[in-house]
Amino acid sequence: MFEARGWKNGTNRSSLTLGLAISPQDRDRNFRRAWKTVAVRLPGRCGTTIVPLTPSFWTTCPELRSRHITACLRASGAFPWPLGHPPRFTIHATGLARFIEWLREFYRVRGDFSHGRLTTRQPMVWNATEHLTLAAIAFPLVVRCLLQRAGTYTLTHDDIAAIEAFEPFADQAGFLQPPPDSGGSMDAWWARMLTRAKSRA
């Protein structure tokens, strides 16, 4: 969890881009340079938007900005704000961005094989076995989330912990190998990250 403040470029209210400014320290702690986009769940009824991370995000402009964020800040009444006193927002980091990044790659790779190819030329962050492992974790959670949205299921403590654990697990290099200090066959990367997530959920 970290704080962001309202950000705007320029002074012309009709053509402003609005966004969320993040401190360099919080950016470095909560974002990864390998990410091309992040998913931002906006307050109220604004929904979720995908925001690109530009090269300048890592240098002089650590802001999340998009037309969707602009519209949301206007609609919510957060903008305009008093000069020098932008609104502040609490940001909760989740695994959604990494999930979307993985899902897009899974979709591209699966497309090659589903059309009869024996190999894929798609650039891959995860190998085929890693993709199948992540899919085995992710898709039951997706079904449960859809069932909850339909009002026929309620996510459990374990479900929420698994959702939270997905990102660090997918980010862990060699997650199918035992940790270097493994205490046995049950001490795997997924078990460790799930335990940590349960303690926080």
Going by C-alpha positions, the residue among 15, 10, 2, 11 that lies closest to residue 70 is: 15
Same domain membership, residue 62 and residue 130: no
Same domain membership, residue 8 and residue 79: yes
C-alpha gyration radius of the chain? 20
Same domain membership, residue 87 and residue 117: no
Q: Please give the C-alpha separations between residue 73 and each of 24, 50, 54, in angstroms, as whole numbers.
A: 22, 16, 21
> How many alpha carbons fall within 13 Å on the CB side of residue 162?
16
Token couple for 86: 């932008």
Neighbours of 97 (CB within 10 A): 21
Task: Select from 73, 93, 113 the last residue of a domain.
Answer: 93
Same domain membership, residue 8 and residue 88: yes
**Highest mean pLDDT out of 4-13, 17-26, 63-72, 171-180:** 17-26
- For the stretch 41-92, pLDDT in tens is 777 667 667 788 889 999 999 999 988 889 889 888 999 999 889 999 988 7
Same domain membership, residue 162 and residue 77: no
Same domain membership, residue 194 and residue 135: yes
Count how many domains the chain has.
Answer: 2
pLDDT of residue 189: 95
- Average the pLDDT over 168-189 and give the result: 88
Task: Select from 93, 114, 148 the last residue of a domain.
Answer: 93
Same domain membership, residue 63 and residue 35: yes
Backbone φ, ψ for residue 142 (5° rounding) = -60, -45
- For the stretch 101-150, pLDDT in tens is 788 888 888 888 888 888 887 777 788 899 999 999 999 999 999 999 89
Determine the structural domain holding residue 142 and report its residue range. Answer: 97-200
Neighbours of 122 (CB within 10 A): 13
DSSP code for 180:
T
Lowest mean pLDDT segment, chosen from 28-42, 52-66, 164-178: 28-42
